[in-house]
Structure 1
């Protein structure tokens, strides 16, 4: 209830985006940089709305919605191991590195700047990934990943001779890489998930990551393939430091979780490759730590069995390790708290405040079996466009936009633009929806360490554990 001292103006002020982020980011360089960049993000809304109104068709809606899935962390996490098992260790490692760097550093920028996605309405968002809508908008991680992957694939194809690939096959694969990159990047604009600024910076970040990984590929490969015990002793502290320096966001955002998962995969894969390269099970050509594979020897059935077996091993590890760690780690964390050795993080509750971690908590980069079943069942269902705020960041941006337009109208005496009319109508008609925006779930401190161990384990199971199993059960070439 509003008393006599609290006018509606005063009530609204506490919800303004400016006040919300100033309170959480402070008044230093971080907040001032956000305030400087915010107009670039906001001024694109009308242009994006016009683009949608001109271009949208049912066929393109389906195309860009589904190609967006090819830029998600989940897609890469599920399909990267297959590249290892088909004998392309160098390329698979490079993909892990560029994708991990893209997810981690774009996530750092998102959580550091806390810039919103383009406003909805007037935009309609076409999105098949619930967690993606909960992230900040700048820069576009999809664009970063798509560009780095496409450029690295093109560079690899350009370095292949005619003995490796026929010119027609090479040309076809190059076209696939270009279409993939363009579809994912432009699709972020079409789907209303990002603005031009988000996509341009994401594209630039992806190009930088590609260039660094390609320019130093020989040194990075030599370090892991030929290094001694310094390899794990250098990699482990680097990954832990990167996780620790990830900025705290103003709102609960899944970027940190995805960054931790991919950083852990890098750790598991590189240590796994280091171990496998020194074993008698690996082929030394075309590179050290190559997983033995010849389609001419194994055929389609055994090749499929290898993939099925490898995927089962990964999901079995996740199904066992995650609940085990959730049961074992809380007492350890409580003990560390009493010693003053805990490392608290915003939006994560400490072990001393809960008894146990619930089973099947959502939010994993790699979905569980039940989640995959539901995703498969939903493929045939048409996904409607989402209109209106989907996260706390969206909500604060909508409130702030309404307030800015109201101030502007009171100064010039004019009625607000069509965007303002749409937004006011939406807020008025959907007041209850705004109040019931999904709150972030409770997140537990042990989840960070759990992710590090589980996803490092996934990388290590992809190589060398699964190739060892292939050899043991007779699924290696003769």
Structure 2
């Protein structure tokens, strides 16, 4: 896409044609059927947010939202492998990968926006959270899938956990999943439709892993070389058929990352099972660990060393691939062997990839760890945003403005008329006193983007929402798009880079870290 095309609003903006032009009918039709539900529930969500919002809940839900992200799981899942719970780790990787991939698949398939802001206010500790489409909620999918899987394991006849511990863990699990799902509504990031469908998807994924996960593990761990090659083939096919969105959305990036993680954990587990280090008990392919032999100090050092191995892989491999892949891609492009994706710049249009890319990554860069620790130590820090934040938000704002304009012209507006005002046919209109929900509906589509600001407890009202920003009803599409944060340039080599890097992370966790532990004296004594 040329520079001029990026500077000007899309031709479809002047009506509601953007998505009808970008999406085939079989994708556009269900989108149009579901969109009214999202619009209908928005003022009610704003009313609920006003009624229950407090500074304490703002901090609580903004903080706990981090516990439902795939970044959180990617950072802590390796600990399960290194502490002897290899089978549980593989199961959680499978359900999280399926949740992220298929929720992202549906997001890019239907391109449904988040509930409008205003009237909702978006409360978050993540600046990139609102850049994705809204339907379905990936947070809800992740949280419910983990909860369903954990509860099914705790209630399984094979569970070795004591009844008291099982009860305590189940209570924690229920509190966890409730906080994540309700928090998406409270924080204005999702609507009821988003979290309900996301939760249903999560429940199905969790049950599927519990029911068929052991059989799948048995196939993977005992497969021949030809048998294990089925996994990368399926992964590559799924990545290739991932739908292209109508707007620049990072859902595909997350899907590719977790596709890579699945590839790495399955092939890596298969390879490790054949090594001399692997334990056959309690299940084949278990990474050696015994707390009684290592103790707390060595276990902690073991985890730190393992994390350093993972970050070393990431810090070395990613810039290396971004440097050597562009010439390869240019050669393949000349041969017509590449199938470019929308919103990704092809290698023939650039010479090098900048080294300081601002990523929407599943696993943070090593340099970002101090800021993440600071954020975790100060849970009262959160940003409150009002107004469109992404291209999808901007298109929905414009579409809703157009909808109101057409309703007004046709006499079908839901806004309360002035007393004595008549319908076009001369029949007096019945005066209806505005309700709180009506007032929130009146705010929809009237937002202008504002920079997210860190709020303090004293600045957050307890019984009423922040006033909506002033806006100019004559502002055209170009003005709306000039105010939102534009997504950065994305390069075609990033797809392969992300797939390789994230496939390598579980390989490092399973096949590189254990020999390192043995080498530096952190292995399990015989």
Q: TM-score, normalised by structure 2?
A: 0.85
Q: Is the 1:95–1:149 Cα contact (8 Å) retained in structure 2?
A: yes
2:182 maps to which of 183, 186, 208: 186
**Equivalent in the alignment of 2:23:** 25
Give the number of equivalent residue pairs.
466
**Equivalent in the alignment of 2:443:** 422
**Equivalent in the alignment of 2:43:** 46
Cα distance change, pair 124–245 in 1 and its aligned pair in 2 (3 A): same
* Rounded Cα–Cα distance in structure 2 between residues aligned with 1:284 and 1:424: 60
2:273 maps to which of 267, 274, 277: 277
* Rounded Cα–Cα distance in structure 1 between residues aligned with 2:28 and 2:95: 29
**Equivalent in the alignment of 1:342:** 338
**Equivalent in the alignment of 1:15:** 13
* Rounded Cα–Cα distance in structure 2 between residues aligned with 1:275 and 1:434: 50
Moved more, 433-442 or 444-453: 433-442
Cα distance change, pair 307–23 in 1 and its aligned pair in 2 (3 A): same
**Equivalent in the alignment of 1:441:** 488
* Rounded Cα–Cα distance in structure 1 between residues aligned with 2:32 and 2:480: 28
Cα distance change, pair 16–374 in 1 and its aligned pair in 2 (3 A): farther
Cα drift, residue 68 of structure 1: 0.7
Cα drift, residue 409 of structure 1: 3.1
Cα drift, residue 425 of structure 1: 5.8
1:216 maps to which of 206, 212, 219: 212
**Equivalent in the alignment of 2:83:** 86
**Equivalent in the alignment of 2:58:** 61
Moved more, 151-160 or 90-99: 151-160
Counterpart of 1:15 in 2: which secondary structure?
A: helix
Q: Over aligned residue pairs, what C-alpha RMSD do you find?
A: 1.9
**Equivalent in the alignment of 1:357:** 353
**Equivalent in the alignment of 2:454:** none
Cα drift, residue 33 of structure 1: 1.3
Cα drift, residue 421 of structure 1: 4.2
* Unaligned ranges ≥5, structure 2: 1-8, 417-437, 449-468, 473-478
Cα drift, residue 469 of structure 1: 1.3
Cα distance change, pair 247–50 in 1 and its aligned pair in 2 (3 A): same
* Rounded Cα–Cα distance in structure 2 between residues aligned with 1:429 and 1:47: 22
**Equivalent in the alignment of 2:386:** 387
Q: Is the 2:269–2:285 Cα contact (8 Å) retained in structure 1?
A: yes
Counterpart of 1:126 in 2: which secondary structure?
A: strand
**Equivalent in the alignment of 1:401:** 400
* Rounded Cα–Cα distance in structure 1 between residues aligned with 2:222 and 2:350: 46
> What is the correspondence of 1:65-464 to structure 2 with a 5 Å cutoff?
65-159=62-156, 164-363=160-359, 364-379=361-376, 380=378, 382-410=381-409, 411-412=411-412, 415=415, 417-419=438-440, 421-423=442-444, 426-427=447-448, 429-430=470-471, 435-464=482-511
Cα drift, residue 208 of structure 1: 1.1
Counterpart of 1:290 in 2: which secondary structure?
A: coil
Cα drift, residue 165 of structure 1: 2.1
Q: Is the 2:261–2:502 Cα contact (8 Å) retained in structure 1?
A: yes
* Per-residue deviation, residues 355-394 of structure 1 (Å, max 9, x unmatched): 0000031222211022222222344252132111110100
Counterpart of 2:320 in 1: which secondary structure?
A: helix
* Per-residue deviation, residues 403-448 of structure 1 (Å, max 9, x unmatched): 2123223314764642354357644835667522111110000000
Moved more, 357-366 or 11-20: 11-20
* Rounded Cα–Cα distance in structure 2 between residues aligned with 1:433 and 1:278: 58
Cα distance change, pair 293–424 in 1 and its aligned pair in 2 (3 A): closer
Cα drift, residue 177 of structure 1: 1.2
Q: Is the 2:396–2:445 Cα contact (8 Å) retained in structure 1?
A: no
Q: Is the 1:112–1:248 Cα contact (8 Å) retained in structure 2?
A: yes
* Unaligned ranges ≥5, structure 1: 1-10
* Rounded Cα–Cα distance in structure 1 between residues aligned with 2:306 and 2:281: 22
Q: Is the 2:397–2:446 Cα contact (8 Å) retained in structure 1?
A: no
* Rounded Cα–Cα distance in structure 2 between residues aligned with 1:387 and 1:443: 27
Cα drift, residue 353 of structure 1: 0.6
* Rounded Cα–Cα distance in structure 2 between residues aligned with 1:474 and 1:307: 13
* Rounded Cα–Cα distance in structure 2 between residues aligned with 1:419 and 1:12: 29
Q: Is the 1:273–1:463 Cα contact (8 Å) retained in structure 2?
A: yes
* Per-residue deviation, residues 260-319 of structure 1 (Å, max 9, x unmatched): 000101111111111111111111111111111111211111001111001000100010
Cα drift, residue 160 of structure 1: 5.9
Cα drift, residue 236 of structure 1: 1.0
Counterpart of 2:122 in 1: which secondary structure?
A: coil
Cα drift, residue 170 of structure 1: 1.4
Q: Is the 1:151–1:207 Cα contact (8 Å) retained in structure 2?
A: yes
Q: TM-score, normalised by structure 1?
A: 0.93
Q: Is the 1:264–1:452 Cα contact (8 Å) retained in structure 2?
A: yes
Moved more, 400-409 or 206-215: 400-409
* Rounded Cα–Cα distance in structure 2 between residues aligned with 1:131 and 1:17: 28
